[in-house]
Structure 1
Amino acid sequence: MDGKRKTLLSLVGVVCTMTALGFASVPLYDWFCRVTGYGGTTLEASAGSETILDQTIKVRFDASIAKDMAWEFTPVEREMEVRIGETGLAFYEAYNPTNRPIAGSASYNVFPFTAGGYFIKIACFCFEEQVLQPGERIQMPVTFYVDPEIVDDPDGKHIEQITLSYTFYEIDLPEPQAQAALDLGADSIQTDLN
């Protein structure tokens, strides 16, 4: 009986460990991608590069929305050419054509994936959730640079073009705005009754 109990406890321990690793794998993978730029995940910095090269690189901008997202979302400029290390500023435009406020969050990556570790964002609308009121149209900035170390990377030095892609997903409205939307709905019902 003692051997069976030991085996059972060992198996339960293995199952618990595997379950914990399964839950931890998503945040660990996300952290790994953000630190290394793996899979086209861009890096972040608080300031621009101190080194600017004469060599240029073309940056293309791509925008899409998730299947159930009601916004219209496009880059203002489809592409720009920047010197490697130079700070670039691009804008994306979002429009809410509905009669309700909608909150969105953007996921992003760059292609080719090997450029992810060299594409550095200084500021981006994607760092925070966005809320658009009915009929609201906004332009959202992203400030970035391409790290000069890309020219020393055996794979990176041959990259002539980087595509920065965003996809917006609808998320739950933040609590104060969700309450305001409910209040507006109640006001319109009250007006209809009068």
Structure 2
Amino acid sequence: MTEMGEASKRTGRNNGAVVAMCLSFVFGMGAMSYAAVPLYRMFCQLTGYNGTTQRVDQVSSVVLDRTMRVTFDANVASGLQWEFKPVEREVNPRIGETIQVNFVAENRSNEVQRGQAIFNVTPGEAGAYFNKVQCFCFNETDLKPGEKLEMPVVFYIDPDIVKAVESKDIHTVTLSYTFYPKEGPKPVASKADGTAEIEKKL
């Protein structure tokens, strides 16, 4: 009986260790999954992978005698009642030339709505060479009911795009934006003086 009892205890301890290892594995995988999205986003921003453009603080000091056709695509995800479009459908700057283009967004709903634009460049190989100096996509955008806003993007194509094997034959790139709804302060019932209170949605 004593030997059987000892064996039973050992089996119980072994089973407990297996359960603990399994739980640790599950929690570890969950943590890795949670971290995967921001890590992947950081990787794309650093490398231009998957068409992610680069954010820079200064303009190019080199301008080539070769142009690049840049077209624009604008979309709105469900949840935002906005009209969103580029002012110009395409431009043809010289490679290395800093240029500004504008997009227009209009809130077609009867309430304040907040959105933020997600962006990418196609073909994906051009993402590492598409440098943004200024962009509305860096911040969230609030629009009042019926409000229309013109938003600038300042960018240039890195001259190194003509040197890399995977990008030297690219002649057209497309900068694409999609506005998604973001949670934020919402207007609530007006006060007696006619001004609206703002509360944060928890």
Equivalent residue number for residue 131 of structure 2:
120
Asked if residue 42 in structure 1 is aligned to residue 48 in structure 2, the reply is no
Gaps of 5+ in 1: 189-194
CA spacing shift, 1:42–1:166, aligned 2, 3 Å: same
1:182 aligns with: 188
The structure richer in helix per residue is 1
Q: 1:52-63, aligned counterparts within 5 Å?
A: 52-63=63-74
State the alpha-carbon separation in 2 of the partners of residues 172 and 10 from structure 1: 38
What CA distance in whole angstroms lies between the structure 2 residues aligned with 1:98 and 1:165?
A: 24
Alignment length, in residue pairs?
183
- TM-score by structure 1 length? 0.88
Which residue of the other structure, out of 91, 98, 103, is the alignment partner of 2:102?
Answer: 91
Gaps of 5+ in 2: 1-9, 196-202
What's 1:192 paired with? none
- Pairwise CA RMSD of aligned residues? 1.7
Counterpart AA for 1:120: N
Please give the TM-score of this superposition, normalised by the length of structure 2: 0.85
Overall identity of the aligned pairs, in %: 43
1:24 aligns with 2:24: no
Equivalent position to 1:72, from 77, 83, 86: 83
Q: 1:136 to 1:152 in 2, by over 3 A?
A: same
Task: Look at both structures and tell me which one has the larger radius of gyration over its CA atoms.
Answer: 2
Q: Distance in 1 between matches of 2:73 and 2:191?
A: 35
Residue 9 of structure 1 aligns with which residue?
Answer: 20
Residue pairs, 1:139-150, within 5 angstroms? 139-150=150-161
